[in-house]
Structure formats: structure tokens, C-alpha cells
Amino acid sequence: MSSVARTAAPVAAVPSPPPPGALRVVALGGLGEIGRNMTVFEHDGKLLVVDCGVLFPEEHQPGVDVILPDWSVIRDRLSDVVAVVLTHGHEDHIGGVPYLLRERPDIPLIGSRLTLSFIGAKLAEHRIQPVTIEVREGGRLTRGPFDLEFLAVNHSIPDGLAVAIRTGAGLVLHTGDFKMDQFPLDDRLTDLRGFARLGEEGVDLFLVDSTNADVPGFTTAERDLTPAIEQVFRTTPGRVIVSSFASHVHRIQQVLDAAHANGRKVALVGRSMLRNMGLAIDLGYLTVPAGLIVDQNTIEGLPAHQVALVCTGSQGEPMAVLARMAAGTHPISVGEGDTVLLASSLIPGNENAIYRVINGLTALGANVVHKGNAKVHVSGHASAGELVYCYNIVQPSTVLPVHGEHRHLRANAELAVRTGVKRDRVLVARNGDLIDLHNGRATITGTVEVHNIYVDGQTVGSATEATLAQRRALGTEGVLTVVAIVDPDTSRLTEEPDIIVRGFEHGPDDFGPLTSALEKALTRAAERGATTLDDLEDTIARETVKWVRKTFGRQPVVIPVVIDA
């Protein structure tokens, strides 16, 4: 708890309040990145939050577990928050909630049944009992000055919702994450009729998922994956091992159906897979024929052709089940005759890790079927073709592309313009931009600073960009500690310094000439009166950096330790 206060980002300068009667919209995450979605709506002194997710770090953010949205700008106003609406149960939309509720545990969470069950399980691990308000498509409720209406949207997790927000300032529609599969596996279509009705009423601001805005055409229907999945189950002589996202209930349903049709039992492997599918079964989102799912012990006793495993690790995560199978360190050994089915996307940045797993499995003799060689995955987000349908149906006054890197937001903006939205009514915004909807017109009126808030071990917000820069330097160059015993009266070394290195390959033998270089530098420093402990450390560090760069062509992080003789 205390660590939250130690945030690196200072509380942002409080922006001037929105004009009377206006609705202010500010994204604290999710613009310019895919992850940590969090948008705050302010009206009449009250705040409504939509989503509170996490962002997963990239390779230049080492040691970071997840990145949170930066809600420092509303930290002093958490009592004004009337609710957090969670559009669906993915981590990039709900993963930040436990950290937000640490600061005010009784903020009501509004969401669909499955979404609330996923966040409930997560909060239970954080020992938080949330206040929840369950809603469903077609539902409508009022919180403070916000009149909320929920609409069904189709996505790669069941029970997703779009939310329409009515205030005195106008009507806002936020799609959440969505696509428009016209034959969804659960027959729950994205509610374009509802979108049309809201369009008739007049949507003043339309927030639209941009993830696939640069992908031409239409996302293939989930049902069209069935033949390729079926074929794997029908033709594999050994075991079928399926790896997918632990929240992709529909994909797992397809896998269970294929296993059942081909006389295989299924074991679920991996903590998050077991937890989420358990919830999905309990709540009726996943239909399981009696006796189909068995435990891992039972499955190990069955002949290979009667076995299917469903596990985590489709992104090559080194500690997940699949990577351990590929490395031969998991109790279940994979081999000749088995097929591994990666029914998942290949998230940019994870390629090397995934290919390492595929190479490992291939070397063990398994056949690996993935998106690259079979039709076994489609995205959960609307492609360009679907998005233009939306724009033409809703015909919004102003568009705010959300949920994307800059290139996605811009591609989405171009789509809106092509459907006839005026270019100056399409806002390509950044996290922290203040968008005020006032007199029927939404414009960017200012900006607040928004930082990356790093969760790092048990600390939140302690690690800064400077910390990460140090880690990158340590990780590429290693560290060199110089322990120097110095006579405080003469500023002279009393013996050869000790050199301790990690991640830098040179034994102490190579450091002989450093001693005389340090001696000279210390003498020069003494001559100009630089003899405090700080001066000595500084002199030793600088001289060592210089000497090591010249001698070895490298730049390890140098830590000077000066001891009084």
C-alpha cells in the first residue's frame, strides 16, 4: 500500500476544470500503445472510468512485470469516481483494477457476468472484495450524472460490451474491443441495430477500437477455423496439444468439440487456463460433454490417440507449460506423432520466443500447426472493412480512435474520413489529452502529463525511466566495482584496488595499468582540492570508465567503493 505513494510520476498539475455543462474525456492509457486502456469521463464534478488495464513491457523495459495507466491526475479525486465500467475481461482492460482498488476499494465495478467473474477471481488473489454491479446487453443504469447503456459486442472473449454514455453534454459511444463476426459461435452479434439507433439519436463522440484498422478487408469468422482444427484432431496419430489464450472461451469450445468428436479426452494444464475455464464452465459459457475433461494424472494413463491437452504458453512465455514441454522440462513429454496446435496470434515482439518453442517442439519430433501454416487463428478485432460499416451506420459527429499504437490510430482516422467524417472532427490524440465535448462539439483543449507506471516486484511506480536505463546498461555491458582504499590525508591509494566484475569478461590480471591511471587522476584531483569522499568516488569512477572504454572497448556500469585507509 505504502509503495503506491512512492510513485515516480509527480501528481500532474491540476488542469483547469471543463467548461460548465461540458463532458471531458481523457485517456490515461491506451492511446499510442496496445494495452493499459483507461479512459476517464468527467461531467458535473463526477468521474466515470472505462476500463483499467495493464500494458506488457517491451524488451527495452527489462525487469518490469506490467505497466499501469497513470491515474495520478485523478488520485486526489478518487472519491468523485462513480464507477469503473469494464467492457470485457482481458488483462489490458481489467489488469490495473487491483492497483486502483488498493487506493479506494469501494469504487463500484460495472460489467457483464463473465467479466466480473474474471476480475473477481483476480481481486480475490489480491484479497480485495469488490463492490460490483452486473449488467448485460440492453441494460441501462444511471451513476451520478452519467446515464449508461450497454450493447453487445463480439470479441475474442465472451460477454463483451460497448457502452453508450449520455450526459447533459451529449451522447458518447465507446465500442470497447470488438469485431463483427456475422456467425459468432455464441450467436451473440455485435449490436449494429443498437449502434444504428444511437446513430439516429446522434452520437457526438465515437470512441473506436483501432487495433486492426490497418488490416484491409474483413476478419474471417471463427466458425471458419473449425475445419483446420478438426483436421488436426482427426489426423494426428499421437497426442494433440493445443495452446491458446486462457481467456479465449470460444476457441477452447471448438477444441473441446473437436476432441469429443474424435474420441479424445481433454486435460486442461496451467493455472490461468484451469481457473478461467473453470469459471466459464460454472457460468455456462463453456459447454462440456460429461466425462470429456479429465485431470492430468488420468490423461497420462490413456493411449496417445485418445489424448488432448489444452495449455497456456502460446506466446512462448518461458515459464508456461508449452515452453517447458519444448525444453523437455515438463512432466508431459512431447514426441514423434504428436501435434502441437498454436491456436493463437503471434503478438509482435514475441516472435523469437515463439519460434524457439516451435523449434524445440519440432526437434522433439512433434508436428507444429500454427497461424503461419494453417487457418487456426483469427483476430478478435474489427478489420478496416468492418470499421467502415460502423462509421456508416453510426455517422458520428466526432471520432476518437482508441486502442492502438499511433499508426493504428491514424489508419482508423483515415477510415473515418473516407466515410465522410470531416477531417477536423477526427481526433488523433495522445494519453493525457483533454477532450472537451461542449455545445455538441468535441475538441482537444489541453493536456496533462501521463507517465508509464511500472509494477516491478512488489513495488508500484518506484522504477522510473532512469532505473530502466541503468538496467539496460547493466544488461548489455555488465558491472564493474572498484574497491579502493585511499589515505584521506594524501588522497593516495594504499594498495592496488580490488576489481569485481559481473557480466563483463576480464579477470583482475587485465587491470594492472588501471592502478597507475587512478593514482595519477587522484593526484590531479588532490591538486585542485577535490578530496571529499564524493570527489574521490567521482574521480575513480570517471577514470575507470575512461580507461575501460579505451582498453576493452566497452562501457560497463562502474561502481566506486572508496574506503578510508
Annotated binding site for Zn(2+): 88, 90, 92-93, 155, 177, 403
Q: Could you write out the DSSP letters of every residue in 421-462?
A: --GGGB----TTEEEEEETTEEEEEEE-----EEEETTEES-
Please report, as a single letter, which amino acid is at residue 206.
F
Annotation says 209 is catalytic: yes
Q: Among residues 406 and 542, whose Cβ is nearest to a copy of itself?
A: 406
CB of 392 to a copy of itself, least distance (A): 22
Q: Among residues 77 and 406, whose Cβ is nearest to a copy of itself?
A: 406
CB of 521 to a copy of itself, least distance (A): 20
| Per-residue DSSP letter, 80 | G
Q: Which of 381, 408, 438, 451 is catalytic?
A: 381
* Assigned C-alpha cell, 283: 457460468
Q: Could you write out the DSSP letters of every residue in 115-171?
A: HHHHHHHHHHHTT----EEE--TT-EEEETTEEEEEEEEB-SSTTEEEEEEEETTEE
Helix H or strand E encompassing 167? strand 160-167
Please report, as a single letter, which amino acid is at residue 203.
V
Q: Which residues contact 447 (CB under 8 A, 6 or more apart)?
A: 430, 432, 433, 434
CB of 48 to a copy of itself, least distance (A): 29
How many CA atoms within 13 Å lie on the side-chain side of 132? 19
Q: Among residues 99 and 504, whose Cβ is nearest to a copy of itself?
A: 504
CB of 407 to a copy of itself, least distance (A): 5
Q: Among residues 20 and 553, whose Cβ is nearest to a copy of itself?
A: 553
CB of 464 to a copy of itself, least distance (A): 7
CB of 444 to a copy of itself, least distance (A): 15
Q: Is the dihedral of CA 57, 97, 188, 252 positive or negative?
A: positive
**Whole-number Å distance between alpha carbons of 226 and 118:** 27
**Whole-number Å distance between alpha carbons of 297 and 285:** 26
Q: Among residues 368 and 387, whose Cβ is nearest to a copy of itself?
A: 368
How many CA atoms within 13 Å lie on the side-chain side of 105? 10
Residue whose C-alpha is closest to residue 160's, from 143, 135, 183: 135
In the numeric block, the cell 493525457 is attached to: 432
Q: Which of 70, 159, 209, 436 is catalytic?
A: 209
Q: Among residues 185 and 361, whose Cβ is nearest to a copy of itself?
A: 361
Helix H or strand E encompassing 211? none
Residues found near a copy of itself in the complex (CB under 8 A): 32, 58-59, 62-63, 214, 348-349, 351-352, 355, 358-359, 362-363, 368, 372-373, 405-407, 410, 456-459, 462-464, 467-468, 470-479, 481, 483, 485, 498, 500, 502-506, 552-554, 557, 559, 561, 563
**Residues annotated in a binding site:** 63, 65, 88, 90, 92-93, 155, 177, 246-248, 377-381, 403, 456
Paired sense of beta strands 205-209 and 170-174, if any: parallel
**Whole-number Å distance between alpha carbons of 543 and 140:** 69
Q: Among residues 108 and 385, whose Cβ is nearest to a copy of itself?
A: 385
Paired sense of beta strands 433-438 and 453-456, if any: unpaired
Q: Among residues 141 and 469, whose Cβ is nearest to a copy of itself?
A: 469
CB of 157 to a copy of itself, least distance (A): 24
Listed in sequence order, the DSSP H helices in 245-303 are 249-261, 271-282, 296-300
**Whole-number Å distance between alpha carbons of 434 and 440:** 16
Residue whose C-alpha is closest to residue 211's, from 425, 390, 373, 35: 35
Q: Among residues 407 and 546, whose Cβ is nearest to a copy of itself?
A: 407
Please report, as a single letter, which amino acid is at residue 43.
H
**Whole-number Å distance between alpha carbons of 515 and 531:** 18
- Cα 272 to Cα 246, 248, 456, 502: the distances in Å are 6, 12, 21, 36
CB of 410 to a copy of itself, least distance (A): 5
CB of 124 to a copy of itself, least distance (A): 20
With residues binned 3-state (H G I as helix, E B as strand, rest as coil), the percentages for the chain, rounded to 5, are 35, 25, 40
**Whole-number Å distance between alpha carbons of 235 and 214:** 36
Residue 393 CA from chain centroid, whole number: 31
Annotation says 224 is catalytic: no
In the numeric block, the cell 587491470 is attached to: 511
Annotated catalytic residues are 209, 381
